Chain A
Amino acid sequence: MPMRSDSYRRHLLLATIAAVLLVLSPYAAGLARSAPGTGFEEGMTLLLEEDFGRKAAGVDMLAESSDPRAESILETMLAGELFYLKENRTLVQARPEGDGFAARAILGDADLGTVAKRKLKKIAINNSLRGQLESALARLRLSNADAGVRAEAVNKMLATVTPESRAQWAGYLQSETDPAVQAALRAALALTVLRDGSAGPAERRAAVAQLAGHLHPTVRNELARLLAGEPEAPIRKAAQRALEGIDARLAWLDFFETFFFGLSLGSVLVLAAIGLAITFGVIGVINMAHGELIMLGAYTAFVLQQLLPDAIGTALVLSIPTAFVVAGLVGMAIERTIIRFLYGRPLETLLATFGVSLILQQAVRSIFSPLNRSVATPAWMSGAIQLNAVLSLTTNRVVILLFSLLVFAGLALLLKKSSIGLQVRAVAQNRAMARAMGVRAARVDALTFGLGSGIAGIAGVALSQLTNVGPNLGQAYIVDSFMVVVFGGVGNLWGTLLGGLTLGVTNKFLEPWTGAVMAKILVLVFIVLFIQKRPQGLFPQKGRAAAG
């Protein structure tokens, strides 16, 4: 049964060769600074080979050729945009455009226009080649004009620096002027010393001092390794102190990161629940179809992206008001046709809206198919903001956190400052009195329900960036939404905000200890106990409304 086939052994062999090349290449690069063009042509032809080992050799030749064109070629290859024309085997850069590819020759930079797919063959890459390309590019980028790129390149190479490359690193350090890159280069130099078995105690001690406070994981691993095998007690002590310093900072960063994760989860909960806080909190309707209104918002984002395939970012921004209108109208239709006949009968409302939720789900299944739909993430929402070597905040989460606060602030202002907000609050506080004062309660009910539903639609747009857009999207959030509203205190927007954030942060701090499954259970148990103690939630309503 074990698969010791020939192809397996061949792959193993190739992987070994690639690894050896990888280790040796910085050394080779240091020595082989010969005339430009050496190996460039040969490397280019090797890239066309089917065999991954030959391609790997080609990549190395290009990287070492010190040819100025090498960097962009390797970048193109890593991005999966490197092709060759089947007729004359010339390398081209090609991006999908319509039915074919927009191609441009790599050498000579001639624009070839749109080329049919069958005329091109892709230069396929696999994982080990991808890793090799990354490190080759890092090497080439050491002399990039942008200091940020240089620092990143050095950090990327830290894991693989070898004692032999010491002189090379020293050379880079001498000509470097940017302080951040200098710090990274010093760490690299220190690592060459620690990895060198022949380095003397004084050198080792200086290297340890150099590395203190450096957060890169490689540095921590190297110090830990040193601590285990170092014969000199003072150096051991210095390494120990450096490690403790790093660990203390890591613990803080860890705490901060978990806190951010919690806020981010909390902001999603708030977004999902805030619409419900209005429909459930203000007019007291248990709307089980709330999740499906979120789902409609997410599908609106999908449809708009389908309509504007070339501007997915704009489509996403446009889908915020569109989703508000779509979900709001559906919500108002539900209120006018079903819920208004059931006011004051919570059990029937619950059942009826549950039915509506099933109908909406199956409708979406019939219209869009039961498969998940892909909503693309615009470039300004992908990736992460790198704060230091270990801490980064993912951009989409930061955007959604800010967005959710913005939605909350907007809603709070609307209820507080506008005349419709005043009417909504009046009806919520005392329906009979409000009617006596001339407020058209039925109209306010419809508008309030529409507002809550519209906000659910907006939440759907945000969720389309985090999770699946599919018929089941709503179900995943309905329980959490009710949990947040009940915990925060029914009828209180601030309660929803604080409740959502508290639950998010609690969940994330529990998760590393207990695992995701247990954390969720513990949060539920906590809420059950809390509601036992304070049935009105965090912020109970006061005065006459509470009595009613």
Chain B
Amino acid sequence: MKLRQRHFVALLVLLAGSIASGSALAADTIKVGVLHSLSGTMAISETTLKDTMLMLVEEQNKKGGLLGKKLEAVVVDPASNWPLFAEKARELIEKQKVTAVFGCWTSVSRKSVLPVFEELNSLLFYPVQYEGEESSKNVFYTGAAPNQQAIPAVDYLMGLGVKRWVLAGTDYVYPRTTNKILEAYLKSKGVAAGDIMINYTPFGHSDWQSIVSEIKKFGAAGKKTAVVSTINGDANVPFYKELGNQGVTADVIPVVAFSVGEEELSGIDTKPLVGHLAAWNYFMSVDNETNETFIETWHKFIKNEKRVTNDPMEAHYIGFNMWVKAVEKAGTTDATAVQEAIIGIAVPNLSGGYSAMMPNHHITKPVLIGEIQADGQFQTVWQTKGLVVGDEWSDYLDGSKDLISDWRAPLACGNFNVKTGKCSAKK
């Protein structure tokens, strides 16, 4: 009896799995892979991006598809499990024969799939802000590099007279690398080591009492203090709640965050947070026609007027349109041809200008700084005048300041050392 029950459950699971992967086979479609976690811890952020991709594909099909064929999105669920990302990526490329993949959120997941994409020579569009220090022939980084988010934010605060800095982050690769770059940058601007406090917390940290109290004390030394937060995901909600309760308001100690967007704020009561800052390349509140259309399409697609849009969604919007244009230009979906064609392609972004793909596989973006409002939106208080080119190898770290990346022939190298004149990848 029990054995039969167990078999039944196994059958159900199998069935559910095959429905989810939606393996409808049709020869006259162009397949696009979507590699975002739909279950597990990262589902909170990545599910929205899966929906964004489905919407973009649907919109493109309404316009007549690509190269005369319909596009078809193939969705898989890597379940917030880093090794599973690599497996699922292989499945998408080898079995499903997708022409390009849009996906990943955390840097670990990107590092996990990177060898697969390089081995099978396929394309990955990565939509999230990250720590830099990487450039792959097969990856296009449509999120911000540190110089497109962290450094302008620090510049802005310095302009407001901030003299003491708290660098608070979750304990993993993105905050550690970003903080290393920021620390070097601040020191190069003459900030003393005693005026920098660095603090790391585990994933999902929920008891912020001591740390907020420490920040308060650090900020009471008579110099204007600010917190630069690379705290990730769920840990932000209790952090901001504690800030509000302990009375750390934005006019005393402003917090500028790099991982808090409209979506994260939709889960918090934002009234005590009004005035705290975030640096992004896009805010939902940006006022222009392209953005309005995008939001309208999104609301119609998701059938919920209350859903917000955010920066990584914009990155997918840019990345997808760049890929479409590159395929049209190359006349084929062949990975090598698209890699060549996509460099130099410019498409409209949602903050009112154009973004272009650079030879280092990063894109140009404006940098916006916004203050949190009581309705969970951001009010832009500062913006770069022009576009900023993503800098993959930071100029402030010893190991990387001499490196550049240029994937055009004849250099075609992701880490060319300008001092030694050698490409370290080609041994």
Contacts and interface: CB of A to CB of B under 8 A. Distances in A.
Nearest to B249: A130
Given A382-B244, A466-B206, A468-B238, A362 B39 contact: yes
Interface string A38-81: 00000000000000000000000000000000000000000010
B241 A466 contact: yes
A512 B218 CA distance: 13
A372 B234 contact: yes
B250 A217 contact: no
A2 B234 contact: no
Contact of B267 (A124, A365, A470, A508): A470
A516 B152 contact: no
A109 to B, nearest CB: 24
B374 A80 contact: yes
Given A7-B383, A15-B161, A384-B247, A371 B266 contact: yes
B237 to A, nearest CB: 5
A15 B162 CA distance: 12
A479 B104 CA distance: 28
B118 interface: no
A258 interface: yes
Interface in B142-189: 147, 151-152, 155-156, 159-161, 171
Given A221-B222, A394-B242, A372 B209 contact: no
Interface stretch (A204-212, A373-381, A406-414, A528-536): A373-381
Interface in A386-405: 392, 394-397
B201 A517 contact: yes
A467 B206 contact: yes
Most A-side CB within 10 Å, residue of B160, B207, B383, B389: B207
A257 interface: yes
Given A1-B391, A395-B245, A257 B213 contact: yes
Interface string B247-277: 1011110100000000110111100101101
B159 A261 contact: no
Interface residues of A, number: 65
B200 interface: yes
A130 B44 contact: no
B237 A468 contact: yes
Contacts of A374: 266-269
A370 B245 contact: no
Interface in B267-321: 267-269, 272, 274-275, 277
Contacts of A175: none
Contact of B241 (A371, A372, A377): A377
Given A2-B155, A374-B267, A470 B44 contact: yes
Q: Which of B209, B241, B249, B391 has the most CB of A within 10 A?
A: B209
A369 B391 CA distance: 36
B367 interface: yes
Contact of B202 (A467, A472, A520): A520
B400 interface: no
B341 interface: no
A11 B209 contact: no
A471 interface: yes
- Which of A5, A372, A512 has the most B CB atoms < 10 Å from its CB? A372
B197 to A, nearest CB: 11
Contacts of A520: 202
Q: Which of A3, A8, A128, A392 has the most CB of B within 10 A?
A: A3
Contacts of B267: 371-374, 468-470
B152 A3 contact: yes
Nearest to A476: B204
Interface string B384-397: 11101101000100
Contact of B237 (A362, A369, A372): A372
Contacts of B205: 516
- Most chain A C-beta atoms within 10 Å of own C-beta, residue among B43, B151, B268: B43
A127 B238 contact: no
Contact of A11 (B159, B269, B272, B275): B159
B234 A468 contact: yes
A248 interface: no
B43 A365 contact: yes
A16 to B, nearest CB: 9
A3 B384 contact: yes
A471 B204 CA distance: 13
Interface string A309-336: 0000000000000000000000000000
A264 interface: yes
Contacts of A466: 206-207, 238, 241
Contacts, number: 174
Contacts of B391: 1
B246 A392 contact: yes
Q: Counting chain B CB atoms within 10 Å of each CB, which of A7, A392, A476, A516 scores highest?
A: A516
Contacts of A258: 210
B221 interface: yes
A127 B161 contact: no
B213 A261 contact: yes
Interface in A423-477: 466-472, 475-476
Interface in A216-240: 217-218, 221
A508 B269 contact: no
A268 interface: yes
Interface string A1-29: 11101111001100100010000000000
A187 B389 CA distance: 52
B221 A3 contact: no
Given A372-B267, A377-B269, A11 B43 contact: no
Interface residues of B, number: 72
Contacts of B389: 1
A365 B39 contact: yes
A383 interface: yes
A512 B209 CA distance: 11
A511 interface: yes
Contacts of A361: 39
Of the candidates B210, B221, B263, the one having the most CB atoms from chain A within 10 angstroms of its own CB is: B210
Nearest to A511: B210
Contacts of B8: none
A127 B156 CA distance: 13
B245 A515 contact: no
Contact of B382 (A11, A80, A377, A471): A11
B246 A394 contact: yes
B192 interface: no
Contacts of A493: none
Given A126-B371, A127-B250, A131-B251, A384 B384 contact: no
B254 to A, nearest CB: 6
B43 A471 contact: yes
A217 B220 contact: yes
A137 to B, nearest CB: 12
Contact of B367 (A3, A6, A221, A517): A3
A377 B252 CA distance: 23
B199 interface: yes
Contact of B222 (A130, A134, A218, A467): A218
Contacts of B200: 515-517
A107 to B, nearest CB: 24
Interface string B202-245: 10111101110110000011100000000000100110011011
Among all A-B residue pairs, the 10 with the closest Cβ atoms: A372-B267, A217-B220, A5-B385, A131-B251, A221-B222, A370-B43, A394-B245, A130-B251, A261-B209, A467-B206
Given A365-B39, A471-B43, A520-B202, 4 more contacts: A264-B209, A394-B209, A395-B245, A476-B206
21 contacts: A2-B155, A5-B385, A6-B385, A126-B371, A128-B251, A131-B251, A217-B220, A264-B207, A370-B43, A371-B263, A372-B44, A372-B266, A374-B266, A383-B247, A384-B247, A394-B246, A396-B241, A396-B245, A466-B241, A468-B267, A469-B267
Interface of A: 1-3, 5-8, 11-12, 15, 19, 80, 124, 126-128, 130-131, 134, 159, 217-218, 221, 257-258, 261, 264-265, 268, 341, 361-362, 365, 369-374, 376-377, 382-384, 392, 394-397, 466-472, 475-476, 508, 511-512, 515-517, 520
